[in-house]
A = this chain, B = another copy of it.
């Protein structure tokens, strides 16, 4: 990694491609955004955000939560929006508009309509997203007037305000603007605003991420790149193994730079790598900001059976015992073995290898001698890596996860609705 000193790319697990430089902020050409306080959050903090793409021929791609219990804005966006040509996004925090039935869907449609008027685009080109408390009807009047006010404040430097409006329990903002020099000679801008911190007191988790670029991408290319990079970022993290009802990730492309990203070119590769680094770092920031989190773990699983590899990695990342050991700075590899065995029932004898921070601690299912004080020192750092080797070769996966701390219990048990 030859990246310049970075304030955004903090993790050793993110590879930043050549040609990527960070800008302090600002949206790509063709985008404007704003965030206002509409009174949904009791704190009075900003809670309604609007983001608009001024290019009539904008392209886009979208990914949503796979939960069986979908929030109303997810249903409305999937059913009533043209996902490959989105030109505006309206988001509120403070209320998830989830488990709100038919009224919730009507409210989300009203929000979509109000945003269309505010942004001056057809309603089917507007995506809506919500995050916050569930089971409570949305105050659409507050949202409609908030969106009208936001429309008057839209600006190219509005990404920080927009980010503030989508935050809930986030301890820090998750936002970046990157300039990407492409091998073909062009330079494009890529920006993103995300939120997420495990889950929202007093209700549940939501991860939102909005990405913009002034590059010109076909809707198919945008969809392909978003799909691949989401799979390598937001699909690979777990704060508490709990899937939200509201998760939404959108990529919007204005084309305003005049630089086209054509399929199967060096430019597409570079752009895809930059998007990948951006989303991976944002995903890691969500884990790092996991409720009460002190450390971030990465488990890498390898083996000859892809499904077993995936289950083993998820089993480790979601084990409260492993997560508590990570919190305690405890190189307790027995919990890794136990979590893998529990995830892969009826497969004994399982000859697993385990390494922590590069130090082998278990080989073919049996303990290995290692320098315990040295390893204890390594697992007390901010990022800890576990490698689980299952028999065979050909498959490898990874999951990033937060630790389990007193802070998590405090946030989720001590404060009641």
Contacts and interface: CB of A to CB of B under 8 A. Distances in A.
A114 interface: no
Contact of A413 (B75, B240, B324, B416): B324
B409 A339 contact: no
A241 B365 CA distance: 22
Contact of A101 (B69, B241, B366): B366
A242 to B, nearest CB: 6
Contact of A324 (B345, B349, B409): B409
A135 interface: yes
A102 interface: yes
Interface in A375-409: 376, 403-406, 408-409
A55 interface: no
A163 interface: no
A319 interface: yes
B346 A66 contact: yes
Nearest to A66: B345
A134 to B, nearest CB: 4
B339 A242 contact: yes
A330 interface: yes
Given A345-B68, A412-B321, A367 B331 contact: no
Tell me the number of copies of this protein: 2
Interface residues of A, number: 77
Contact of A99 (B362, B408, B415): B362
Contact of A67 (B68, B103, B341): B341
Contacts of A320: 240-242, 320, 404, 408, 412
Given A327-B413, A367-B99, A338 B70 contact: no
B135 A321 contact: no
Interface stretch (A21-29, A84-92, A196-204): A196-204
A352 B69 contact: yes
A104 B334 CA distance: 15
A205 interface: yes
A415 B328 contact: yes
A129 interface: no
Nearest to A96: B334
A133 B335 CA distance: 10
A321 B240 contact: yes
A340 interface: yes
A387 to B, nearest CB: 16
Interface in A320-379: 320-321, 324-325, 327-335, 337-350, 352, 362, 364-367, 376
